[in-house]
Amino acid sequence: MITDLQIAVRNLIAPLLAADSLLTATLQQVATPGANVTPAAGKSLYEVRTTIEVAEDPGDRHVIYVHAREGRAPMTILRDAIVEISVGSPADVEGITIANHALLERAVDRVWDATRNPTLAASLSAAIAARLTGWTGGGFYVEGWQEAREDKEMLPVYAIKIGVQRS
């Protein structure tokens, strides 16, 4: 279930980020996640990946990682999952800047803003149903950016609590 949730969330947010005009004015998303393409001249790229991708990190672009872990399992028909999204930016690569890193972090926040995306809960349910037969979404609750844990080398994560229920 967890791996399917990661993929469902990636499939959900990738097009939303691609449609974010504040983001696309500066950064462009690679067309094919995992494709080993060189960033276009003068244009920085980013990629949305789950943390279970087989292909290695590209190393030449920003990466938005989608990770998920089990929450508590209160019932057999109701499950909780915590989705954690982080932004990774390789060092010493042209076009990779702190400003663009921050731009991506703000874009992640905008994606999960229910006032901007009032149909997001329904879209999330559809994305979950597409990956998990017999299950659907039970809504989401944004916990927001969480401090990096202990080691300062670790990335801060944007946590979203997601409900999954039997359809």
126 binds other proteins (CB under 8 A): no
32 neighbors 16 (Cβ within 8 angstroms): no
Give, in order, the Cα–Cα distances in Å from 26 to each of 30, 34, 43.
13, 21, 8
Q: Strand pairing partners for 68? A: 83
76 binds other proteins (CB under 8 A): yes
- From candidates 22, 77, 102, 148, binder to other proteins by CB under 8 A: 77
115 binds other proteins (CB under 8 A): no
Q: Strand pairing partners for 142? A: 160
Which range in 2-10, 46-54, 55-63, 158-166 contacts other proteins by CB under 8 A?
158-166
140 binds other proteins (CB under 8 A): yes
* DSSP H or E run through 120: helix 120-131
List residues binding other proteins (CB under 8 A). 74-78, 114, 121, 138-141, 143, 161, 163, 165-166
